[in-house]
Amino acid sequence: MPEVLVLVDHDGEHVNKSTYELLAVARRLGDPGAVVVGTPGTATRLMESLARYGATSVHAAESKDAAEFLVTPAVDALELAVRDTSPAAVLVSATTDGREVAARLAARLGAGLLIDAVDLDSSGVVTQIVFGGSYTVRSQVTHGIPVITVRPGAFEPEEHPGEAVERTITLPVVDPATSARVTDRRTAPAGDRPGLTEATVVVSGGRGVGGADGFELVEQLADALGGAVGASRAAVDAGYYPHRFQVGQTGKTVSPQLYIALGISGAIQHLAGMQTSKTIVAVNKDPEAPILDLADYGVVGDLFAVAPQLTREVAARRAVG
């Protein structure tokens, strides 16, 4: 079986869930080879977890520079790993960094790039949902080794314990004239909530929430449901909630089991980021709000009355078990 290379997302100590998803889907095409880019010692720390989720080899691309420069070390590592292994495909999580790494890699390989896969079959045909959920497209790479970015949350991680062999990739020294140096990192506090794109429940607030204080109500409902918090662009631009939580065309695309929109009108650019959600609930005081036209359950009412009542009901239900 050919190898399928997977770029490992990690924080130095732990492998991100999205990588386990990639390892699971990689097995449809070949033997998963995990590429770890990090400071010396990282691959050894992650080895066991990667092997448990199906990696048959772990390529360690380690250097002091690896964490200090943006994107380039990962591109270099994957390029070298591809030349070593001639893989059937390279899979990368469709995060902001992941997309940039994948695109630069595809450019260096002169290979086809497919983005945001939500499904992938054993012949390498990828399913994508484009234009904010208006089309389902199936595509194929016609030139070179397929480089594919996979939407976090689109696949389930699967334990598949085995032995993984460790290989070493010698990273070139980064040329500071051609790479940006990361001089400071303010990692978003992970908190107790699931990641926006991975969550099975997302509760989003819009301009109707009225302010940063109002977002406490959104957070309380999200917490009662074990979900993530999202926001419309109007809410982000008004400073109610940070940018990284923006849902929509120029924000994140989410596809949870349950999406609850509080005080969001339902502009086409917002819908583009959430309309593939399984169930959509909207609370809006305007009966004409477009979001109500696609909600599976729409409440015409004041969110400041409805949301706290819902939170209490859900919390009570959870308490009972």
Partner 1 sequence: MNIVVLVKQVPDSGAERTLSRTDHTLDRAGAELVLDEINERAAEEALRLKETADAHITVVSMGPDSALDAIRKVLAMGADRGIHICDDRLHGADLLTTAKVLAAAVRTVADVDLVLAGDAATDGGASAVPAVVADLLALPQVTHVRQLDVDAGRVRALRETENGQTTLDAPLPALVSVTEKINEPRYPSFKGIMAAKKKPVDTVGLDDLLPDADGFLVSRTRVVEAVPRPPRAAGTRIADDGSAGRQLAAYLIAQKLV
Ligand X SMILES: Cc1cc2nc3c(=O)[nH]c(=O)nc-3n(C[C@H](O)[C@H](O)[C@H](O)COP(=O)(O)OP(=O)(O)OC[C@H]3O[C@@H](n4cnc5c(N)ncnc54)[C@H](O)[C@@H]3O)c2cc1C
- Using CB under 6 A as the binding rule, the residues of this chain from 180 to 219 that contact ligand X are 206-208
Task: Note whether 265 binds partner 1 by CB under 8 A.
Answer: no
186 contact choice in ligand X, partner 1, none (CB below 5 to 8 Å, kind-dependent): partner 1
Asked if 201 and 256 touch (Cβ cutoff 8 Å), the reply is: yes
Q: Least distance (Å) from partner 1 to the CB of residue 85?
A: 20
Q: Per-residue string for binding with partner 1, 94-133, x by CB under 8 A? A: -xxx-xx-xxx-xxx-xxxxxxx--------x---xxx-x
Residue 246 binds ligand X, judged by CB under 6 A: yes
For residue 257, give every residue at least 6 positions away whose Cβ sits within 8 Å of its Cβ, in sequence order, or none.
200, 201, 277, 278, 279
Q: Are 306 and 203 in contact (CB under 8 A)?
A: no
Report DSSP state, residue 225. H
Q: Which residue sits closest to ligand X, CB atoms considered?
A: 248
What DSSP designation does 232 have? -
Within residues 211-250, the interface with partner 1 by CB under 8 A covers 225, 236-237, 243-244, 249-250
Strands 113-117 and 89-93: unpaired
Of 163, 184, 192, 288, the one binding partner 1 (CB under 8 A) is 184
Distances (CA, A) of 104 to 29, 43, 76, 207: 22, 23, 10, 37
Residues 273-312 within binding reach of ligand X (CB under 6 A):
273, 283-286, 289, 302-304
* CA 39, 44, 46, 50 torsion-angle sign: positive
Q: Is 16 in the site for ligand X (CB under 6 A)?
A: no
**What type of residue is 293?**
D
Q: Does 135 sit near partner 1 (CB under 8 A)?
A: yes
Q: Contact with partner 1 (CB under 8 A): which of 181, 211, 212, 216?
A: 181
